[in-house]
Amino acid sequence: MTLPAAGADAPVQCSAKGCRQPATWTLHWSNPRIHTGTRRKTWLACDTHRDTLAAFLEARDFLRTVTPFPPPPENP
Ligand SMILES: [Zn+2]
């Protein structure tokens, strides 16, 4: 299973349970006990849930970075 790419037909929703809002943030995280090296997991979050999801990950020391979703275009 992979995350839908930006621009895919399916709406990209927040990862919070029961939330149907479109995602506006990507939370990159890893669990050092499970994910070795530079492997990262990602959650998508709406504006409302960005803080709650980030706090959940931060409390476990899993959070790495938070970036806008979809990512801004690279320099053309
Ligand atoms: Zn949400």
Banded model confidence at residue 50, pLDDT cuts 50, 70, 90: very high
pTM of the complete model: 0.76
Helix (H, G, I), strand (E, B) or coil at 29: strand
CA of 26 to the centre of ligand 1 (A): 12
Give 24-39 pLDDT, tens digit per residue: 999 999 998 886 777 8
In the chain, the amino acid numbered 72 is: P
Distance 16 CA to ligand 1 centre (A): 5
Query: One-letter amino acid identity for 10?
Result: A
The closest alpha carbon to 26, from 17, 38, 14, belongs to 14
CA 61–ligand 1 middle distance (angstroms) = 21
Ligand 1 centroid – CA 59 distance (Å): 19
The closest of 70, 63, 73 to 28, measured between CA atoms, is 63
pLDDT the model gives residue 5:
54
